[in-house]
Structure 1
């Protein structure tokens, strides 16, 4: 790899909703400032709402959230602002409330990727109840780690292998997209244990590959449903996300923050 640069930054103020692109943002041990700061809680089950269980929560990926000084501004599929829990509850068909306080033992439902691929319809598959990962900073809504990174070489290869000929970064919900020049596809999976120095600012330590769930296959805003966003990975990049785990479809990597700082589009990355 001759050169690596930051080409896009995204944060997602409300878990499982569409996020917002940024030109620059501060990164701390809690991830990108404002990222996954809020989530919806299911009042009946006490679980965190996540589109990883599409049967219940696919509508969240048709909502967009931006962060304001007053909190998140949420707009629905038609662009109308949804300022109340009642409006959000009506949209998803369950009683929910927006919160910035994770429950003491945070859990969410996650559909089984293999069943998603076999069934062809996310609504038909079972979901497992899983806890937030040990690498997630306390008091946050991250599933596993505070920063998710994906490379342009990986997105390019997915597009080459997809019948649609496209692969949108938004489907994989990264925080940082890195242009890896002419690196091999899925190059980031060789980065485990390495540190990424972003210009003179943040330092990230890569800790695991990112196993994919049903989310990339779902409609994201104006992007239509695309089962190949997961199927391509299942056929061409099935690897252990962590040592000791069975191979599973992966794209991108998780990282922890070693040093705080600001990151900007165009920043050069050193390993």
Structure 2
């Protein structure tokens, strides 16, 4: 059906991550993925889904340096250890309030999301409950997945076919897969766009690992933000909203790209591995 074109891991949530050629997949997702996050004193978990508070995290890059250690490259090029007092101080200066990097998900950590102006960017039931916070943005609040820094799914996959489809809709946009912060980019040659729409409920054998496809991935404002050399482009998410709104659980039709996966069987995954749908153990 396809092959793994790229692998990405993000050791610190909402920072730029690292491209890999191979990775060990555990029951918790890609080894080393989202093992740290930036927290503020109000209990918020740093997420660029609330750009006015956290977008500057996308100017930083994190890399895993050991089983439970990571280093962060700041915008000025300096590199500091995740969890160090110096990094906490530098990030506090960058964000304009006191924050710290932690590997311990808070029991009641808040995940805030700015409400986009386009349709399908947030479930209607949440839009009705949105509030204006101290930044002046209209936001919704939720929780990270229990015991983790993940928003929902442990593994996120996008296909090259879907990205090609969106490029035809918004030719001026740069639909680099990195905007969508996937773990797995799967090259699907030819065929219609959005092939993953038919995958929920199916299994995928990728390298040594076996995955269950759960739900489409609802998109927030993050793909429209600047990522390293990729410039900000509000047209990116407007194109997704126009072209691809699909039902997600009981939340209605949302702007989606990609799918979330659960891990059924751990194992190694490498760039170039075949992706086989419906393959069991």
Q: Is TM > 0.5 for Structure 1 vs Structure 2?
A: yes
Structure 1 regions of 5+ residues with no counterpart?
none
Q: Which moved more, 1:181-190 or 1:96-105?
A: 181-190
> Secondary structure of the equivalent of 1:114?
coil
Q: Which moved more, 1:158-167 or 1:138-147?
A: 158-167
Alpha-carbon displacement from aligned partner over 1:183-239 (angstroms, at most 9, x marks no partner) = 31111121000000113x101101000000010111111211011121001100011
Matched, 1:131 2:143: yes
Q: Distance in 2 between matches of 1:161 and 1:124?
A: 32
1:77, 1:221 within 8 Å by CA — same for their partners in 2? no
> Secondary structure of the equivalent of 2:43?
coil
Pick from 8, 11, 23: which aligns with 1:10? Answer: 8
Q: Which moved more, 1:72-81 or 1:164-173?
A: 72-81
Q: Could you list the runs of 4 or more consecutive aligned residues of structure 1 that deviate by over 4 angstroms after TM superposition?
A: 115-118
Matched, 1:248 2:254: yes
> Secondary structure of the equivalent of 1:143?
coil
User: How far apart are 1:163 and its partner, in Å?
Assistant: 4.0
Q: Distance in 2 between matches of 1:63 and 1:183?
A: 37
2:173, 2:233 within 8 Å by CA — same for their partners in 1? no
User: How far apart are 1:19 and its partner, in Å?
Assistant: 0.5
Shift of the 248–39 alpha-carbon distance from structure 1 to 2, 3 Å rule, reads same
CA RMSD of aligned residues (A): 1.8
TM-score (norm 2): 0.87
User: How far apart are 1:105 and its partner, in Å?
Assistant: 2.1
Match of 2:157 in 1: 149
User: How far apart are 1:125 and its partner, in Å?
Assistant: 3.5
> Secondary structure of the equivalent of 1:158?
helix
Q: Any residues of structure 2 matched to 1:135-214 within 5 Å, and which?
A: 138-199=146-207, 201-214=208-221
Structure 2 regions of 5+ residues with no counterpart?
82-86, 122-134
1:5, 1:180 within 8 Å by CA — same for their partners in 2? yes
1:117, 1:231 within 8 Å by CA — same for their partners in 2? no
Q: Distance in 2 between matches of 1:151 and 1:74?
A: 28
> Secondary structure of the equivalent of 1:113?
coil
